């Protein structure tokens, strides 16, 4: 019965190149033929030709160009929704066949400032469970499309991010919450040990830009409360880059507490006691559900969930 069922399905896709699904998913995730080609190790013309075959097969344009990006049509969204979870499971099963028993290398992606808190506990847990396992830390970026690409194509095993990622094939676990602190130069001429929101908003800021919706929303809340717009003088992509700027200027910055503790003895900076409650940055652990089929990975996830202080609602 099973053989007959499989034969019928094989007949249904006879003549259809299943490699086109990989190209479709890559274009869907990146919104770009060029990026998809780079990821797959193909030429852009090869991916474009594949899209042409898919458009003919489904009688739909699938992607429409808007500016420099390609946006999926309703049909493309429907194809992705129906195929993605099964496609993701297929990749996971193939990975298990490739290395069925043990994981000899664990790839972890998280921003540098989160690594200050995460890598120590993670390395200790890996050493307990699989002492010979190599850990590779990457900082490939934490946009939604980047993380989808990292996990879908198994470029990384675990992603740590300050934004949750809603996907049926992923697990997202709130690992811990990171307090924020306002910092300034030790010799700042105006900011005292304690400051009101209105006083802070009169100052210029150094903005740590890491695509965090949490920080953007917090800035908007502060602007709404004080009815004043925050003035951004400098913008950096990494929290460590903010420290020398804060030391050398009169600007302020919102940074994670652990980052401040890491750098406070290297730079002439100090925290500012503010007269309002600062939010905390949530830190999430994201991974493919199918990865839990591996005993080492499952044990590691359980141990990491217990390695950090519990989050209280």
Structure-token match 């499989």, residue found: 6
- 119, 137 Cβ separation under 8 angstroms: yes
pLDDT of residue 98: 52
HSE-up (13 A, CA, CB side) for residue 65 = 4
Q: What's the token pair of residue 147?
A: 């993380």
Q: Which of 174, 161, 157 is nearest to 287 (CA)?
A: 157
Q: What's the token pair of residue 132?
A: 């010979």
Residues 6+ apart with CB under 8 A from 228: 198, 201, 202
Q: Which of 191, 179, 158 is nearest to 298 (CA)?
A: 158
pLDDT of residue 1: 45
Which strand (E) or helix (H) includes residue 136?
Answer: strand 134-138
SS3 130: coil
pLDDT of residue 2: 47
- 286, 170 Cβ separation under 8 angstroms: yes
Rounded Cα distance, 159 and 146, in Å:
11
Rounded Cα distance, 198 and 187, in Å:
20
CB atoms within 10 A of CB 139: 12
HSE-up (13 A, CA, CB side) for residue 17 = 12
pLDDT of residue 100: 47
Q: Which of 277, 282, 278 is nearest to 312 (CA)?
A: 282
Rounded Cα distance, 307 and 127, in Å:
14
For 48-108, what is the HEC assignment?
Answer: HHHHHHHHHHHCCCCEEEECCEEEECHHHHHHHHHHHHHHHHHHHHHHHHHCCCCCCEEEE
pLDDT in single tens digits along all 313 residues of the chain: 445 555 555 555 566 777 788 888 888 888 888 888 887 887 888 888 888 888 988 899 999 988 888 999 999 888 888 877 777 777 666 665 555 455 678 999 988 878 888 999 999 999 999 998 999 998 876 667 777 778 877 788 999 988 888 777 889 999 999 888 899 999 999 988 788 888 888 899 998 876 454 555 666 776 777 777 889 999 998 889 999 999 999 999 988 888 899 899 999 999 998 887 777 888 999 999 888 888 899 999 999 999 988 776 5
Rounded to 5 degrees, what angle do the CA atoms 34, 35, 36 make? 90
Q: Which DSSP category does 252 fall into?
A: B
Q: Residue 216: phi, psi to the nearest 5?
A: -60, -45
Q: What's the token pair of residue 173?
A: 């676990």
pLDDT of residue 260: 93
Q: Which of 27, 297, 256 is nearest to 171 (CA)?
A: 297
Residues 6+ apart with CB under 8 A from 92: 154, 288, 290, 291, 293
Longest Cα–Cα distance in the chain = 81
pLDDT of residue 272: 92
pLDDT of residue 12: 53
Which strand (E) or helix (H) includes residue 273?
Answer: strand 269-274
């Amino acid at each position: 019965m099973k053989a007959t069922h499989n034969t019928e399905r094989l007949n249904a896709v006879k003549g259809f190149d299943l490699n086109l699904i990989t190209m479709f998913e890559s274009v869907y995730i990146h919104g770009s033929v060029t990026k998809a080609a780079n990821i797959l190790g193909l030429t852009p013309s090869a991916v474009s030709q594949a899209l042409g075959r898919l458009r003919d097969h489904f009688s739909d344009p699938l992607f429409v160009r808007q500016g420099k990006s390609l946006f999926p049509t309703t049909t493309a969204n429907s194809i992705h929704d129906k195929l993605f979870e099964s496609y993701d499971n297929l990749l996971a099963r193939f990975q298990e066949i490739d290395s069925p028993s043990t994981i000899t290398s664990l790839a972890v992606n998280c921003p540098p400032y989160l690594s200050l808190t995460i890598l120590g506990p993670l390395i200790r847990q890996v050493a307990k469970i699989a002492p010979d396992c190599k850990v590779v830390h990457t900082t490939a970026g934490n946009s939604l499309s980047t993380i989808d690409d990292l996990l879908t194509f198994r470029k990384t095993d675990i992603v740590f991010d300050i934004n949750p990622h809603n996907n049926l094939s992923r697990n997202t676990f709130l690992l811990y919450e990171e307090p924020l602190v306002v910092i300034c130069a030790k010799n700042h001429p105006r900011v005292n040990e304690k400051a009101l929101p209105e006083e802070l908003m009169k100052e210029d800021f150094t903005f740590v830009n890491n695509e965090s919706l949490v920080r953007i929303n917090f800035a908007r809340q502060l602007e709404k409360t004080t009815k004043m717009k925050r003035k951004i003088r400098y913008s950096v992509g990494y929290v460590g880059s903010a420290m020398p700027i804060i030391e050398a200027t009169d600007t302020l910055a919102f940074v994670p507490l652990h980052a401040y503790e890491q750098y406070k003895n290297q730079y002439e900076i100090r925290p500012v006691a503010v007269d309002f409650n600062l939010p905390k940055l949530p830190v999430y652990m994201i991974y493919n559900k199918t990865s839990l089929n591996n005993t080492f990975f499952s044990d590691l996830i359980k141990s990491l969930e217990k390695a950090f202080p519990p989050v209280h609602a």
